[in-house]
Chain A
């Protein structure tokens, strides 16, 4: 009955070790998460996106950039599941390979923006005083800007391209993370365990990095997941305008832009990548909602 023992060990009300407490918490969260149907759907979609990105060469039926001018603009069929585009490229295969680009954008924006926001917010909240006022003043200014327009202007100055699009989106999305990190920091700042650590002689940097940042991570994970849909839409928008990923990269927004000319007669060229965007964005929304319910119940919508 190793399984039952394991379960009891995980659900123990008075864990004997730090390791047991940590694994117990993870197990309880996963139990709660499994009970949420929509969250599971979101998880499946996001996992499918990751699988598509990783195993793209095996999932795709064609070469995503191989042109076949005899097979131009074919409607969806058994051979070309989503039809072909104006250069005879298989749209399904391009959508599959596009998952790599979308995943890369989403991960890179999260990796760039979340830690930056986290550090700025935690520093502002912990240090207080003029540091807080200056940092939060800058954050507020960025928060009240129209993000999409700012990203557009930034990419225009940096030059079109996927790297610059990622950079521009990251530059416009850190402020909300800074706000959250500051709010979280303020709630922990005067806790006894922080005071104890300070009395032991820990430096501000050590307290922020070692004690405060770990406590902010769960709300940050929730926030980042919820923001993913917006990031995907912005990236697709940049690609659509022609400022994001450049041809022949199979980026979903850019694919929609190419299909624009054929929307009236060959509808599948523009609509299929759109469905991919919608499904993935919805997946992140569901996942984010579910994570919020289990990780950060107090900030959720009550209904």
Chain B
């Protein structure tokens, strides 16, 4: 796992660029090694938790597979097949091996391997969440900077309200209201789904991202249609990340603007724009990367609720359908995938912080 994470290399590069000596490189490498170890431990923890949920919490996992009307022989066969006759620790090792090799079991509801299902649905979620975070960053960062520069201004008030709303509004409710207003009433956006039914299945999935695939196929109609469908859910996700990013940006900026070097810059007679963007904004870039990464990870998780509203064929929809069918292999597979991505994003942003921050070395 440690070798295919991108950061050991990035760390070495950053150090080289700054002309660091061998000692510093080694220290950074050691530190990154620590992060890699904690990444592996956390991922193992995730697997342990899903194992616990799948094997220990249900009273009888075999019964859950065959149903309570199955004859005794079938039930026993299922028990042996699931390895339930072996000690728990042996079951866990088998489970870790299976997960590590990508064997997440079969989905009862689709009748296909869970991994194959996940591969198909994940790009849809990725597309929505990525657009959401882009909206959040593109609006949230300038809003936060502006609010800090002009405390008490309209932007400042708006950010306060938006920040609170981000805490208090249920995402699924906002999705429903958004559909009612922007789709049904105003007809500014297209309805649920990724494209109109007429376009469904016309584009052969290459990357799985509808926007990219339709452009690759040269189908601009489908491209614009997909944007119409993507706009509302992405904006709603964007709203929640904007709320968080803007609030954090504002708070970081206020800390910087209170520093003495900012007063010095102002006394020197530098234009306010230079003071704010070049002097105050530069140092907060680093914590902002962490904030954006956290927000992105949260969006991948938050999309679960949004996807059910918008009939979005992503991992959230897959998960909810599996939940309602008590399809545990699919539930745990989706949990593992979302959890792994979530953890990797978190740890990579930690590592980035350490690599880029000159003080942390």
Contact = CB atoms under 8 A, between A and B. Distances in A.
Of B38, B169, B170, chain A has the most CB atoms within 10 Å of the CB of B170
B176 A260 contact: yes
B335 A153 contact: yes
Contacts of A259: 176
Contact of A137 (B41, B170, B176): B41
Contacts of B177: 263, 270-271, 274
Given A148-B301, A156-B331, A233-B170, A263 B179 contact: yes
Contact of B53 (A142, A154, A230): A154
A146 B301 contact: yes
Given A146-B339, A153-B331, A281 B167 contact: yes
Interface stretch (A65-73, A76-84, A203-211, A238-246): A238-246
Contacts of B298: 146
A303 B319 CA distance: 40
A55 B184 CA distance: 38
A153 B172 contact: no
Interface in B339-361: 339, 342-343, 346-347
Contacts of B151: 303
Interface residues of A, number: 46
A230 to B, nearest CB: 8
A256 B332 contact: no
A295 to B, nearest CB: 20
B161 to A, nearest CB: 10
A142 to B, nearest CB: 8
A2 interface: no
B169 A149 contact: no
Contacts, number: 143
A140 B42 contact: yes
B91 interface: no
B134 interface: no
B155 interface: no
Given A149-B338, A156-B328, A270-B173, A237 B343 contact: no
A287 interface: no
A156 B64 CA distance: 12
Interface in A99-156: 137-138, 140-142, 144-150, 152-156
A134 to B, nearest CB: 12
B130 interface: no
Given A149-B304, A149-B339, A243-B323, A274 B49 contact: no
A243 to B, nearest CB: 6
B346 A144 contact: yes
Interface string A289-301: 0000000000001
B324 interface: yes
Contacts of A154: 53, 57
Contacts of A156: 53, 322-323, 326, 328, 331
B75 to A, nearest CB: 19
Contacts of B50: 153
Nearest to B342: A146
A96 interface: no
Contact of B46 (A138, A145, A282): A145
A285 interface: yes
B304 A302 contact: no
B105 interface: no
B57 A158 contact: yes
Contacts of B169: 274, 277-278, 281
Contact of A149 (B255, B309, B335): B335
B170 A152 contact: no
Contact of A285 (B45, B164, B173): B164
B172 A145 contact: no
B301 A157 contact: no
Contacts of B168: 229, 233, 277-278, 281-282, 285
A9 interface: no
Contact of A256 (B170, B184, B255, B334): B170
Contacts of B164: 282, 285
7 contacts: A137-B41, A150-B49, A150-B339, A156-B323, A156-B326, A263-B176, A274-B169
Interface of A: 137-138, 140-142, 144-150, 152-158, 229-230, 233, 236-237, 240-243, 253, 256, 259-260, 263-264, 267, 270-271, 274, 277-278, 281-282, 285, 301-303
